[in-house]
Every structure is written in C-alpha cells, then in structure tokens.
Amino acid sequence: MEIMAALEAFRDLERRGIEFYRRLGDRVGDDRSARLWRECMHTEASHQTIFMLCLDWAHMWRWTGPKPDVPVEPSDLAREAEALAALEAEAGGGDLTAAAALGLALRWEERELSRVLFIAPHAPGRGKGQLLAMVKEAEAHYDDLAALNRLIGTDGELLERIDGLRARAREAAG
C-alpha cells in the first residue's frame, strides 16, 4: 500500500479513539474519574493530529519522487477496523462496569501501540520522529490509565497490562 493511503487509514483508526474514550467516560465516568476519561479522549485527539501532520509531510514529500509502499494490505486494515468495531460495540452495549471499561481501554491501547510501532518507520520527513515522540508521550497516557485503575480498585491484572504497555513503549522510544 502506498504511504499516503496507509497514513490516511492509520489516521482514521486513531480518530475512532476519540469517540471510543468519550463513550467510555460517558458510560462509567463519575465525579472522580470523568477528568481522566476526558484526558484519555484528548490524548487520542492528539494522536490523530500527529497522523494529520505525518500526512502533510508525506504530501510535501510526494512531489520529490516515488513513494515507498508500506507492507500492509487493505485486508489487514479492514481486520483492524473490525477489531476496533468490536471494542466499540462492547463499549456501547449492555451493563458496562468501570473495570470492564478499563479493560476495553487497555485492549484498545494494546492494538494502538502495535499499529503505531508498525507504521512509524515508514513515515516520511519528520513523521517518524513525531510518531516515536507520541510513543514516548504515551507514558503520561498510561499514568492516566493507572490512575483510573486505582480509582476503580481493580485487581492487579489490569495494572500489569498497563505496566506491560509502558515497558513496550519505553523500549520502542529508546
């Protein structure tokens, strides 16, 4: 897939995170946790913006010669979109506890980190650096998720997953 199409697809996946966190916050946020859910939503908005900048850089780069292909197929992106749709459906359906919402958020974040680490090396211009900076900034995002975990009072499994995300992001960011 050509780099522009790939970046557009990844940006669109990031855009969905904004509404995903809004929905979770609306469903399970209370006086103590609403600010943290909103902060997670704002972090996803910043991720979408970074992808928009990557697209701008790729567009400027487009005029200088052939563009590289990214080793991803439309069917791969369709499967990712379907996986996110399943998470969105879970976020909108039935009785959702705060602990279940945090579990959904972690499943979202695990997929997101994999996507960003996959596309970053292919981003042109300053895009790669911006995407890797986004991964480094994820530390604060994971702090928000850990704070939600403390407020909710879940078992250690969710905190272990947050720590796993944090370690993976630190390793990738250098």
Q: State whether CATH 1.20.1260 applies to domain 3-173.
A: yes
In a 13 Å sphere around the CA of 50, the CA atoms on its Cβ side amount to: 24
Q: Is the pLDDT at 109 greater than 80, yes or no?
A: yes
**What local confidence, expressed as pLDDT, does residue 10 receive?**
95
| Start-to-end C-alpha separation, the chain | 28
Angle at CA of residue 139, ends 138 and 143, nearest 5°: 115
When pLDDT is averaged across residues 5-15 and rounded to a whole number, the result is 94
When pLDDT is averaged across residues 131-148 and rounded to a whole number, the result is 95
Exposure pattern of 109-126 as b/e (b: 16+ CB <10 Å)?
A: bebbbebbbebbebbbee
**What local confidence, expressed as pLDDT, does residue 155 receive?**
77
Quote the pTM value: 0.93
Q: 65 pLDDT band (50/70/90 cuts)? A: low
